[in-house]
Amino acid sequence: MEKHRKMSKKELLRNIIITLTCLLLATIGSYMMLFLGGYTNNVGIVYMMAVVLISRYSNGYVPGVIASFISVICVNFVFTYPYMAFNFTMEGYPITFIALLIISSITSATTTHLKEQSRILNEREKLLMEAEKETMRANLLRAISHDLRTPLTGIIGASSAYLENSGCMPDTEKTNLVSNIREDANWLLNMVENLLSVTRIRDTGAQVTKQLEPLEEVASEAIDRFHKRLPQSIVHVTVPDELVMVPMDATLIEQVIINLLENAVYHSNSTEPISLSIYVRGGYAWFEVRDQGVGISPERLVTLFDGYTSSPNSSGDSHKGMGIGLSICKTIVAAHDGSITAANEEHGAVFTFTLPLGEDTYE
């Protein structure tokens, strides 16, 4: 980052226009005080305000310093008796004018310095955001390679075995191979939907189009879509009795719920029912997905939403990694100004995410 950069012609012209406009307005205002009431004691303050405005809206130190000199000259030449003549010899005037010049210059330098510091902080923040985006992108790429390679290998292996041994293979084994192919293909389809969801968010600068949606309908649609993929799974759903409208992108939030439910099925090592609880508290809608499985190892809780898991799945279902799905859940929830967490309970794990309620929504 360059400490000093060359000013463009456009910026120079803008500085000149701002400086002349502010000084002209200060002069007009001072003339009005002079002719309406002959009161000129506050002329110096008027010009000092002009210097502050010039320093605030111009680029660099020079406009403010030049405006300080011009202000002192105008106060002495135009608004100090004898008018339209310089007079620095009257008693008290030299000190007044020198003080005005010093105060105006210091004010200009301070304002410009603060503005420059603000610009530097903004640039650093942008660089940090870009670095974070690059880290997330790298994590997603690692997660994609990890989570998508194995199901593709499984599909290729199962289809090859079917084609090479179909003549001597019993029907039950054929059915089993085709079922495995379908399961892996559905998992790949789910991952593609996840990637499309996160791409949709990033293409719009992490902004989502929110509309007021009823919590009950969003939960119902998510459960329907989930059961189409995993019809044997049991989910107990609890929603508020009253109608609650929450600003959200319903499709994206349904994707988050589905991802969490599928993780509970694939990684809990349990066939017990899963619970989805939705309630309103503290200005937020809370979504909790609980399983009754083995829980999550403590060392994985820290990096669970980073999009990459270096350790193999404890469930032994190696082609269904949690990394990419949970990373996308975090991206979607963050785009809604919410938060998502994971924790272990006495029996199983619980994933919780929140969405802020609209201004007109009450508990």
Asked if residue 105 and residue 176 are part of one domain, the reply reads no
Q: Is residue 230 part of a domain?
A: yes
Q: Is residue 298 part of a domain?
A: yes
Q: What does the pLDDT read at residue 128?
A: 86
Asked if residue 312 and residue 227 are part of one domain, the reply reads yes
Q: What does the pLDDT read at residue 147?
A: 64
Quote the domain boundaries for residue 44: 9-128
Asked if residue 188 and residue 115 are part of one domain, the reply reads no
Most confident of 43-57, 89-103, 126-140, 332-346: 332-346
Asked if residue 111 and residue 50 are part of one domain, the reply reads yes
Most confident of 139-143, 214-218, 330-334: 214-218
The residue type found at 2 is E
Quick one: average pLDDT of 315-341? 72
Q: Is the pLDDT of residue 217 over 60?
A: yes
Contacts (Cβ under 8 Å, ≥6 apart) of 176: none
Asked if residue 107 and residue 181 are part of one domain, the reply reads no
Asked if residue 299 and residue 180 are part of one domain, the reply reads yes
Lowest mean pLDDT among 63-77, 120-134, 237-251: 63-77
Residue 4 gets which letter from DSSP?
S
Lowest mean pLDDT among 17-31, 66-80, 90-104: 90-104
Using 50, 70 and 90 to split pLDDT, how confident is the model at 46? confident
Inter-axis angle of helices 250-267 and 171-203, to 10 degrees?
A: 140
Using 50, 70 and 90 to split pLDDT, how confident is the model at 311? very low
Asked if residue 106 and residue 40 are part of one domain, the reply reads yes
| Mean per-residue pLDDT of the chain | 79
Lowest mean pLDDT among 146-160, 194-208, 301-315: 301-315
- The bridge status of strand 245-248 relative to strand 274-281 is unpaired
Q: Is the pLDDT of residue 220 over 90?
A: yes
Q: Is residue 163 part of a domain?
A: no
Lowest mean pLDDT among 169-178, 187-196, 198-207, 231-240: 198-207
Question: Looking at the 3D structure of the chain, how many domains does it have?
Answer: 2
Sheet with 339-344, strands from edge to edge, namely: 235-238, 274-281, 284-290, 349-356, 339-344
CA gap 305, 23 in Å, rounded? 56
Q: Is residue 141 part of a domain?
A: no
Q: What does the pLDDT read at residue 77?
A: 75
Final residue of a structural domain among 100, 128, 156? 128
Final residue of a structural domain among 128, 159, 179? 128
CATH number of the domain to which 325 belongs: 3.30.565.10
Q: Is the pLDDT of residue 171 over 50?
A: yes
User: What are the distances in angstroms from CA 131 to CA 23, 134, 168?
Assistant: 43, 5, 56
Taken in order 38, 41, 45, 47, is the CA torsion positive or negative? positive
Q: What does the pLDDT read at residue 146?
A: 63
Asked if residue 231 and residue 325 are part of one domain, the reply reads yes
Q: What does the pLDDT read at residue 206?
A: 53
Asked if residue 105 and residue 17 are part of one domain, the reply reads yes
- Tens of pLDDT, residue by residue over 4-32, are 556 678 888 888 898 889 888 888 888 88
Using 50, 70 and 90 to split pLDDT, how confident is the model at 308? low
Q: What does the pLDDT read at residue 170?
A: 87
Asked if residue 226 and residue 95 are part of one domain, the reply reads no
CA gap 285, 352 in Å, rounded? 10
